[in-house]
Amino acid sequence: MNNPSLRIIPLGGVEEIGLNCTVFEYGGEIIVIDAGLMFPDDEMPGVDFVVPDFTYLRENAGNIRGIIITHGHEDHTGGLPFLLRETSEEIPVYGTPLTIGMIKEKLREYHLEPPLIPVKPREEVRLGPYEIEFVRVTHSVVDGVGIGIRTPRGLIVHTGDFKVDPTPVDGELLDFRRFSEFGDNGTLLLLSDSTNAEKGGFTFSEKEVMRAFESIFSSARGRIIIATFASNIHRIQQIVDVSARHGRKVSLCGKSIVTNADIALRLGYLKMPENTWLRLDQILRLPDEEVVIVTTGSQGEPMSVLSRIATDEHKSIKIREGDTVILSSKMIPGNERSIGKIINHLFRRGADVIYEKVSEVHVSGHASKEELKLMLNLVRPEYFMPVHGEYRHLVYHSHLGRKVGIPDENIFIMHDGEVLEIDSGGARKNGTVPSGRVFIDGKGDIEDMVLRDRRRLAHDGVLIVIMAMEKTSGRISSGPDLVSRGFIPEEESEGFLDGAREVILNILGTLEPEVIQDISLLKARIRGGLKKYIYKAINRRPMILPIVFEI
């Protein structure tokens, strides 16, 4: 192939918040940017998280030259163990030092040891036909980067997650100069973060959170418990700084937050004054006015430290009058109910609870409209592909692209699995590759059928039929006994189940010899008869499980 086309394929992240994973392919050689997960919603009972369908990468595993991770958030790194398991543990993974530190810890849980290669902003890496440059951006996690990809077709710029923060906690500004140079030198395609494309103006600086913390710490008389994302090292740094100024000690509580803080401390991204970080048993011996506990669980996760504290199930931390609890994070859509329950529990136990809706204890890590327009004007791409957002976010971002002068036909709103192809004739959508979502339960995936069964059990309940039958004669020697769960009140069940039992007996009284000899046919007859009876009686469709013992 003398003059192949460049193919850009989002496997996730263009129809949802999460699952971020984008494939770049030229002449059969592939690089991948990010491999993220998404947390489940209420329609995914028993699912721990969701990752992209990596079928296309599995089928082309031998052509993958490297995986580039833009930053350490789970929606960009959480699918990496599953991608490596499906392709090859030998594929090199590139990221900044803190990102690599977080990834290494995650992969250890899955017994994976791929080549992990730390890089720094402005550093360049050659992977097959791609020259890749890492560019500093500001975000809610330390050490985030955008990516410049030089290909034989032209320069591709991927912003990663970013905002324009003029006063970042670590003093590391977004690299305006490099993004502007990309624009000066000619950018073929821009892929840009769309999360806050609906939101006008500019996103507040991370340092604005410090003002809220200062106010709260000045008035709090008891213990202060703060829940935040385990990866938000900047937020932890600000908590440490304000705690030190107010004469308080800090304890980090929760495996993930302790692990990330330890990595950041070791790499120099987190500064901790001597004797400030204490073990939980040490800090609980101090007077209440000297205590700050930083923990996980800001999204209402059932088994998190904050959830156990709120329901009085934590073995060491018990809420009491005078405690102040701060939820220093955004409520991710879909988590509002579980977060609300935790807030209510904490108030009932006497805590003063402060959260995003009542105080500026959180700011977004994503660019709002004016920052997005600034990035578009800096990079000045010929083609534009909004990423990292639900469909409406991509549409709003495309409107901004038009406002800065990008022609409508040069803006591409993609679906997961769609192929954007660029060749000498320009850019166009051209076909699809296998894509979708894989549901993870524990450390393995579950089939759609299993998830459908869980939904049915959750929504409509289950009816179990148990009986024993003589194989030769078809005579019922025991049963049918019926057990129902989750679809009819106990006080109403007796009469209803008597009717269901009558349906089964009528079916058994008219069985043909071939049905008596085939248990699967018998079960199907029972299911069919009960399904009609139940729907007619109460308009419900429970899962029906006939259990027939042959004797």
**Interval 149-186: pLDDT, tens:** 999 999 999 999 999 999 999 999 999 999 999 999 99
Direct distance between the N- and C-terminal alpha carbons of the chain, in angstroms, rounded to an integer: 68
Comparison of pLDDT for 465 and 94, the residue scoring more: 94
Query: Tell me, what's the pLDDT at 304?
Result: 83
Residues 476 and 545 in one domain: yes
- Stretch among 12-21, 143-152, 209-218, 526-535 having the lowest mean pLDDT: 526-535
Among candidate residues 301, 323, 354, the one where a domain is terminated: 354
In the predicted model, is pLDDT for residue 48 greater than 90? no
Query: Tell me, what's the pLDDT at 224?
Result: 97
* Contact predicate 390/17, CB 8 Å: yes
Residue 516: give its domain's CATH number.
3.10.20.580
Residues 138 and 51 in one domain: yes
Q: Which helix (H) or strand (E) holds 52?
A: strand 49-52
Query: Tell me, what's the pLDDT at 345?
Result: 92
CA distances from 202 to 165, 268, 345 (A): 9, 30, 35
Catalytic option among 73, 366, 393, 397: 366
Please give the Cα distance from 248 to 224 (Å, whole number).
9
Q: Which amino acid is at 66?
A: G
Task: Give per-residue burial for 256-279: e unless 16+ CB within 10 Å, then b.
Answer: bbbbbbebbeebebbebeeebbbe
Query: Tell me, what's the pLDDT at 192?
Result: 98
Please give the Cα distance from 298 to 119 (Å, whole number).
31
What percent of the chain shows pLDDT beyond 90?
66
CA distances from 454 to 45, 49, 545 (A): 6, 15, 14
DSSP 5: P
- Is residue 421 assigned to a domain? yes
Among candidate residues 382, 415, 445, the one where a domain is terminated: 445
Residue 63: give its domain's CATH number.
3.60.15.10
* Contact predicate 421/427, CB 8 Å: yes
Task: Give per-residue burial for 284-310: e unless 16+ CB within 10 Å, then b.
Answer: beeeeeebbbbbbbbbbbeebbbbbbb
- Stretch among 16-25, 68-77, 194-203, 349-358 having the lowest mean pLDDT: 349-358
Once rounded to an integer, what is the mean pLDDT over residues 441-449? 53
The dihedrals phi and psi of 93, each to the nearest 5 degrees, come to -120, 125
Residues 295 and 347 in one domain: yes
- Is residue 452 assigned to a domain? no
Once rounded to an integer, what is the mean pLDDT over residues 281-303? 90
Please give the Cα distance from 50 to 71 (Å, whole number).
19
Comparison of pLDDT for 19 and 505, the residue scoring more: 19
∠ CA 358-360-362, rounded to 5°: 110
- Is residue 451 assigned to a domain? no
CA atoms within 13 A on the CB side of 105: 18
Query: Tell me, what's the pLDDT at 410?
Result: 98
- Is residue 180 assigned to a domain? yes
In the predicted model, is pLDDT for residue 476 greater than 80? no
Q: How many domains does the chain have?
A: 3
Residues 405 and 491 in one domain: no
Tell which phi-psi region holds residue 394, choosing left (phi > 0), alpha (psi between -120 and 50) or beta. alpha
The per-residue pLDDT for range 320-373, each reduced to its tens digit, is: 999 999 999 887 766 778 888 899 999 999 999 999 888 888 999 999 999 999
In the predicted model, is pLDDT for residue 119 greater than 70? yes
What percent of the chain shows pLDDT beyond 70?
90
* Contact predicate 316/284, CB 8 Å: yes
Helix locations, 62-168, DSSP H: 74-77, 80-86, 97-109
The per-residue pLDDT for range 68-97, each reduced to its tens digit, is: 999 999 999 999 999 999 999 999 999 999
DSSP 303: T
Residues 167 and 242 in one domain: no
Once rounded to an integer, what is the mean pLDDT over residues 440-467? 63
Once rounded to an integer, what is the mean pLDDT over residues 275-285? 94
Residue 499 corresponds to which tokens in the numbers above? 């009717």
Q: Which amino acid is at 289?
A: E
Active-site residue flag, 345: no
Active-site residue flag, 314: no
Among candidate residues 382, 416, 445, the one where a domain is terminated: 445
Query: Tell me, what's the pLDDT at 442?
Result: 56
- Is residue 456 assigned to a domain? no
Residues 487 and 401 in one domain: no
- What band does 45 get if pLDDT is binned at 50, 70 and 90? low
Residues 320 and 257 in one domain: yes
* Contact predicate 295/322, CB 8 Å: no
Residue 535 corresponds to which tokens in the numbers above? 């729907």
In the predicted model, is pLDDT for residue 430 greater than 60? yes
Residues 307 and 431 in one domain: no
- What band does 446 get if pLDDT is binned at 50, 70 and 90? very low
CA nearest 13: which of 64, 74, 67, 66? 74
Per the structure, the complete domain to which residue 273 belongs is given by 208-354
Helix locations, 332-418, DSSP H: 336-348, 369-379, 391-403
For 362-386, give the DSSP string. Answer: ---SS--HHHHHHHHHHH-EEEEEE
- What band does 380 get if pLDDT is binned at 50, 70 and 90? very high
Tell which phi-psi region holds residue 160, choosing left (phi > 0), alpha (psi between -120 and 50) or beta. left
Catalytic option among 193, 241, 323, 352: 193
Residues 260 and 329 in one domain: yes
Residues 344 and 421 in one domain: no
Residues 345 and 385 in one domain: no
- Rg for the chain, CA atoms, rounded: 28
Residue 347: give its domain's CATH number.
3.40.50.10710
Residues 62 and 160 in one domain: yes
What angle separates helix 369-379 from helix 391-403, to the nearest 10 degrees? 60
- Is residue 155 assigned to a domain? yes
- Is residue 334 assigned to a domain? yes
Once rounded to an integer, what is the mean pLDDT over residues 436-458? 61
* Contact predicate 312/342, CB 8 Å: no
The dihedrals phi and psi of 403, each to the nearest 5 degrees, come to -60, -30
In the predicted model, is pLDDT for residue 318 greater than 60? yes
- Is residue 505 assigned to a domain? yes
